[in-house]
Structure 1
Amino acid sequence: MSEFKQTFNSSLGKKLIMALTGLFLCTFLIVHLAGNLQLFSNDNGYSFNVYANFLTHFPPIEVVAYILYASILIHAIYAIILTTGNRKARPVNYAAKPQSPSSWSSQNMGLLGSILFLFIVIHMGDFWYKYKFTHSVGFKEYRTNLVTGERTVSDFTPEKPEFEHSLSYNGDTEIVRVKDLHTSVANSFSQWWYVVIYVIAMVALSYHLLHGFQSAFRTFGWVHRKYKPIINFIGTWLFAVIIPLGFAAMPIVYFIMSLKK
């Protein structure tokens, strides 16, 4: 047990923890983006609201969510520990900067991580916390004719404050009553300053993942020349380009739509 503790208290052990939590968070980003793409469904928020309700009421996903929160905190804490340790090991800057091939993103992971952590706090406070623990989020009622597929939507006010959601049927009509997170998202994305913060965070995410994804595999020692181009390709195009662009597109599109109203 002492050897186990010694391993994870070492510099390499801390980097392994960073790599493991980082790759878990990368996996989450793929799932989160896929779910949030429901915002582009032209159905008055039905798909996104049902998706949000599923995330917050399906027990296995709720368990994974708490693992996610722990991973974010552990990743941030160990990043601080490693950064502080590196500075103590070299308290005086070089008189001349060494000519190394390190990228801008690798040299500024602390700054990028700080921007992302601040964004996560703002993002979760504005959406997750309000959705889970306050009554500031309204409700929608969706009535779908199961024969024709026609759907109508209206505001809904529950009789009891503890009401969360319901699914019922009236003949051929499906009635879904659910919290309206979609409207909250649309309202936030209609504010230019929120969109700017979101886009800046996605730029930071892009640079953070550009170095972090590949760095995780180097920490594990998975740097075989046969697989390195594949890792670099995935790290660059999927995590540093497609995922940040996908997330950034949401507030931009909603902001443009709000200007047209």
Structure 2
Amino acid sequence: MLSTLSRKMLLCLTGLFLSFFLLIHFLGNLQLFLPQEQAHLQFNAYSHFLSGNILIKLVSYVLYVSIILHAVDGLIITLKNKKAGGNYQKENRGRASKWYSRNMGVLGTLILIFLVIHFQNFWYVYKFGNPPLDANGNKDLYIIVVTVFQEWWYVLIYAVSMIALCYHLIHGIHSAIRTLGLYHPKFVRWFQRVGIAYSVIISIGFALMPIYIFFTYR
């Protein structure tokens, strides 16, 4: 049975790993902003490389486990906090903290729902479906992405989910640094600014990808 502190440590470590993965995923997906013909073949070649690399496969298993552990751990901690917190504690916490820090469970749930939809539309189709092949013989994930991003409702869900992700990251990174004991008073503002900048850049960047494709391919 894990203690509350152990759960918080696990939550922040899995969260930081997922944040690092987001950066790598973000950098790879920047290829979607390339000219269409170049993006088409290059993005598919990149996806083929990832799917065929043993090291990447091992990292992907760590990713799946981290998502599950982070979600379950976050749910348990949220339920425990609600059970332990009375009205007085909630009111005081409300005055001293941001709304998104008090609603990490809600933000996390929205992100988890988005991930299920996202995995179903891309990862599942790429792995277990029968996607077409491009001119180089690679699975055409690019055309799948373009097709999905032509749906306005999906673009809207994606953008709203990135807003939730932004606030989740802002508080999550801030909280993880404190939990790990790296939150030195001399570097408080520096850590805050870097965390906020990272969260905003990653979230806006991801949100712009479906928006860009939606308007470019119309």
CA distance in 1, matches of 2:101, 2:141: 36
Residue 97 of structure 1 is matched in structure 2 by: 91
Residue 197 of structure 1 is matched in structure 2 by: 157
- Assess if the C-alpha contact under 8 Å between 2:159 and 2:207 holds in 1: yes
Which of 244, 248, 251 lines up with 2:207 in the alignment?
A: 248
- Assess if the C-alpha contact under 8 Å between 1:41 and 1:47 holds in 2: no
Residue 47 of structure 1 is matched in structure 2 by: 42
- Assess if the C-alpha contact under 8 Å between 2:32 and 2:39 holds in 1: no
Task: Report the secondary structure of 1:197's partner residue.
Answer: helix
Task: Report the secondary structure of 1:138's partner residue.
Answer: coil
CA distance in 2, matches of 1:216, 1:14: 12
Is there any run of 5+ residues in structure 2 with no aligned partner, and where? none
Specify which structure has the bigger relative contact order, considering alpha-carbon pairs within 8 angstroms and separated by 6 or more residues: 2
Task: Report the secondary structure of 2:186's partner residue.
Answer: coil
After superposition, the Cα gap between the structure-2 partners of 1:101 and 1:130, relative to the gap in structure 1 and judged at 3 Å, is same
Task: Report the secondary structure of 1:183's partner residue.
Answer: helix
Residue 178 of structure 1 is matched in structure 2 by: 138
Displacement of 1:69 in angstroms is 0.6
- Assess if the C-alpha contact under 8 Å between 1:105 and 1:207 holds in 2: yes
Displacement of 1:258 in angstroms is 2.6
Structure whose alpha-carbon radius of gyration is higher: 1
Which letter maps to 2:7? Answer: K
Is there any run of 5+ residues in structure 1 with no aligned partner, and where? 142-175
CA distance in 1, matches of 2:211, 2:47: 21
Displacement of 1:230 in angstroms is 2.1
CA distance in 2, matches of 1:108, 1:250: 27
* Match status 1:10 vs 2:8: no
Which letter maps to 2:19? Answer: C
CA distance in 2, matches of 1:235, 1:96: 26
- Assess if the C-alpha contact under 8 Å between 1:21 and 1:72 holds in 2: yes
1:38-187 map, 5 Å: 38-42=31-35, 43=38, 45-90=40-85, 92-94=86-88, 97-98=91-92, 100-135=95-130, 137-141=131-135, 176-187=136-147
The percentage of aligned residue pairs carrying the same residue is 44
Q: Deviations over 1:154-201 (max 9, x none)?
A: xxxxxxxxxxxxxxxxxxxxxx31110000100111110000000011
Displacement of 1:86 in angstroms is 1.4
CA distance in 1, matches of 2:193, 2:39: 37
After superposition, the Cα gap between the structure-2 partners of 1:18 and 1:44, relative to the gap in structure 1 and judged at 3 Å, is closer
Residue 16 of structure 2 is matched in structure 1 by: 23
Which letter maps to 1:258? Answer: Y
CA distance in 1, matches of 2:89, 2:27: 48
CA distance in 1, matches of 2:39, 2:7: 46
Structure with the larger strand share = 1
Which 4+ stretches in 1 moved above 4 angstroms? none
Which letter maps to 1:241? Answer: V
Structure with the larger helix share = 2
CA distance in 2, matches of 1:89, 1:119: 29
